[in-house]
Structure 1
Amino acid sequence: MADEQEYWYCTKHHRVEGSDGCANRDRLGPYPTEAEAARALETAQEKSEAWDNDPRWNDKRED
């Protein structure tokens, strides 16, 4: 992937960055496109909701 451009979403500055942006602890990614990086927070929310509703990952016991 060295020849391909990657993008991150900076949670500190709320913007899309290239590989030489903020520290990784403040970013989500990498994403293959700027558009995907711009949706990082929405994507994370969608994945969290899916995991919350996935019976394989649900720790709640139903008796």
Structure 2
Amino acid sequence: MADQPEYWYCIKHSRVETRDGCPNKDRLGPYASEAEAARAIETAHEKSEAWDHDPRWNDDELED
């Protein structure tokens, strides 16, 4: 995988970066394409919404 390009979304600078960008603590990824990395915030939001309604991840929705 080291030969394949990888992209990250830097949450500090709101931009897509390559491997030599900011520290990992400031970014999401890696993603296989620049387009996927550009959607990182939307993807994270979509996953969070899905988890909010999944009883395996949300104790509030577990049945007694």
TM-score, L = length of structure 1: 0.93
Give 5+ residue unaligned stretches, structure 2. Answer: none
| Match of residue 18 from structure 1 | 18
Q: What is the RMSD computed on CA atoms of the aligned residues?
A: 1.1
SS state of the match for residue 57, structure 1? coil
Give 5+ residue unaligned stretches, structure 1. Answer: none
Large movers: runs of 4+ above 3 Å: none
How far, CA to CA, are the matches of 1:48 and 1:5 in structure 2? Answer: 27
Which has a greater percent of helix?
A: 2
1:58: Cα distance to partner?
1.7
How far, CA to CA, are the matches of 1:58 and 1:25 in structure 2? Answer: 25
The alignment of Structure 1 onto Structure 2 pairs a total of residues equal to: 63
| Match of residue 5 from structure 1 | 5
